[in-house]
Structure 1
Amino acid sequence: MIHDPHKHHEFVLLFELKNADLATPDGTQATASVRYGLITEDALKGLIGRQVYKVHGLPTLIRWPGRARKHLLAPLSRGAEGGLLLEELRRYFYDLRLFGLAAPTPLLGAQGTPGEAGPRVQIPAALRLSPARTVDPLLPLDGQPGSYGLYRLHGSYNPEQGQANGVTASDLEVLWQTLAHLFEPSPEMPPLQMGVCGLWVFSHDGLGGASVETLLGQVAPTRRVEAPRSLQDYHLCSPQPGPLAADPRVVLTCWA
């Protein structure tokens, strides 16, 4: 079910970061009050792209240096020839199939070098991500220069655009495996500790008039204590895996 590129898939990913640096850009320690942690959509796409290449060996455009990427995309400004290249790029690069592409095409200069920006080339995204935001405000860890945050990320896969982009069942299988292990603890990044707390995927043929927000809202972590320091400080409420009691057309698969 979750590997079917002809289905809609909405998901919630929860992950935690411990000992994250709370220093402000000028180097002073943030002692302020209410502040939420935020990881942007672009940063998350970069993490996914690098993990897909590292673990599964699939090529991703996001790993290419900026200059090399410009050379690669420059021929896209050449009409029909550019259209054929676009199809080949989408077939070759995993992240183009999932996340699409929206960028001005560099025109070729005098000696085949990229010049000024040309027409904007766009591949609509089959997979859309929200920024990841902490469920609660970040708080210093007992006065030390670090913090704990439980982050929540939403995502949505559109099967119509997925088919147009050539997304396969294998692509989706790689996606779920990558997300479920995206924030594995890394010995290369002490003292920062990262870990996925759970992934919930809701698969369906269409929600009709129902709201995606209401569907994803069924995964609800609520804190047990005033200042959470770990996942154990949260009570996690979510539906049972399988067809939902409230709407059996929706099937839930989860790693938690």
Structure 2
Amino acid sequence: MSLTNRYDFVLLFDVKDGNPNGDPDAGNLPRLDAETGHGLVTDVCLKRKVRNFVGMARGEQPPYEIYVKEKAVLNNQHKRAYVGIGREDMLTGDDKKRKGGDAVDDARKWMCRNFFDVRTFGAVMSTGINCGQVRGPVQLTFARSIDPIIAQEHSITRMAVATEAEAEKQGGDNRTMGRKHTIPYGLYMAHGFVSSFLAKQTDFSEDDLELFWQALIQMFEHDRSAARGEMSTRGLYVFKHDLELGNAPAHSLFGRIRATRKEGVDVPRSFADYDVMVQDADLPAGVTLLNKSC
């Protein structure tokens, strides 16, 4: 069933002694706003975790395959679309880019039907073998930490080396030194939007939306690593509009969810150091607040 409502949502998550989103241009240091010191997590990072969760939960089977994933060759997926719509004749030996035509539109629809992330987030699929472009109904902002963060750098030691030459050079000591970056604690907030109009274009359904909410709540539970041992979703607050065009501006709704340090806490080190205030009284007419369980 197609969506008939607009949604705006607030995602609250935290990290303890980890690196939520390293910056490859800064030696993998946690991303931050250089002027304010607030931590940042990109929308791309959050979408990747949603993709990973959906692929794991639904077994990478249509209509829940994942288009953008590790080691994917995107043009190979485009080939599948043309085979799927019975237009192998559009595929030449050198796989030249195709322009326009009903086949491209049919291929785009095939991609939307089979790949969850295409019909959710959209995709540019016009490289190489042309499957068109899709504007996704679900969009996320960068997440920003409530307070400034402090990035810490740690020396780590591996009691092994990679080659015999390294072992001989160390006289049998066999140590490999490395560096690791973490933040002691950070509580982050991201905003998101769901458009019913764009959902109709990609056939993003009510079932897809429920799976997306589930992914936001559980994605960190299945993304553990040495750098992200303790990341958790702490709140998912969804504003549902009766009207497809919306009943209130998104920014006026986002301001109703606030996280502040508790009185007397100078240096937060856990979620318990914050108060989360939800102003759910006197909501604009036609807006309902759905507090998803986390």
TM score, norm. by length of structure 2: 0.70
Quick check: 1:77–1:105 contact (8 Å CA) kept in 2? no
More deviation in 175-184 or 188-197? 188-197
Q: Specify whether residues 124 and 26 from structure 1 end up closer, same or farther in structure 2 by C-alpha distance, changes over 3 A only.
A: closer
Q: By how many angstroms is 1:42 displaced?
A: 1.4
Q: Which residue of 1 aligns with 2:148?
A: 137
Q: Which residue of 2 aligns with 1:17?
A: 15
Q: Which residue of 2 aligns with 1:235?
A: 275
Question: Pick from 97, 116, 136: which aligns with 2:119?
Answer: 97
Question: Pick from 237, 244, 253: which aligns with 1:200?
Answer: 237
Q: Which runs of 5+ in 1 are unaligned?
A: 108-117
Deviations 1:80-137 (A, max 9, x none): 2222111111111011111111254215xxxxxxxxxx7x932111011101111111
Q: Specify whether residues 249 and 28 from structure 1 end up closer, same or farther in structure 2 by C-alpha distance, changes over 3 A only.
A: closer
CA distance in 1, matches of 2:98, 2:29: 47
Within 5 Å, give how 1:108-123 maps onto structure 2.
121-123=132-134
**Match status 1:73 vs 2:78:** yes
Deviations 1:143-167 (A, max 9, x none): 9963211011111000011011101
Deviations 1:52-92 (A, max 9, x none): 111233211112634x2123336672532222111111111
Q: Which residue of 2 aligns with 1:63?
A: 69
CA distance in 1, matches of 2:136, 2:229: 32
Q: Which residue of 2 aligns with 1:54?
A: 56
Quick check: 1:34–1:138 contact (8 Å CA) kept in 2? no
CA distance in 1, matches of 2:193, 2:116: 17
Q: By how many angstroms is 1:192 displaced?
A: 3.0
Q: Which residue of 2 aligns with 1:127?
A: 138
Quick check: 2:248–2:287 contact (8 Å CA) kept in 1? no
**Match status 1:253 vs 2:287:** no
**Match status 1:5 vs 2:3:** yes
RMSD: 3.2
Computing the radius of gyration from Cα coordinates, the structure with the larger value is: 2
CA distance in 2, matches of 1:72, 1:213: 38
Q: Specify whether residues 62 and 227 from structure 1 end up closer, same or farther in structure 2 by C-alpha distance, changes over 3 A only.
A: same
**Match status 1:180 vs 2:217:** yes
CA distance in 1, matches of 2:53, 2:271: 24
Kindly, what percent of the aligned residue pairs are identical?
27
Q: Which runs of 5+ in 2 are unaligned?
A: 83-96, 156-180
Q: Which residue of 2 aligns with 1:111?
A: none
Q: By how many angstroms is 1:231 displaced?
A: 1.0
Q: Specify whether residues 122 and 234 from structure 1 end up closer, same or farther in structure 2 by C-alpha distance, changes over 3 A only.
A: same
Q: By how many angstroms is 1:176 displaced?
A: 0.8
The letter for the 1-side match of 2:15 is: L
Quick check: 1:12–1:153 contact (8 Å CA) kept in 2? yes
**Match status 1:83 vs 2:105:** yes
TM score, norm. by length of structure 1: 0.80
- Equivalenced residue count is 237
Q: Which residue of 1 aligns with 2:160?
A: none
Q: Which residue of 2 aligns with 1:210?
A: 248
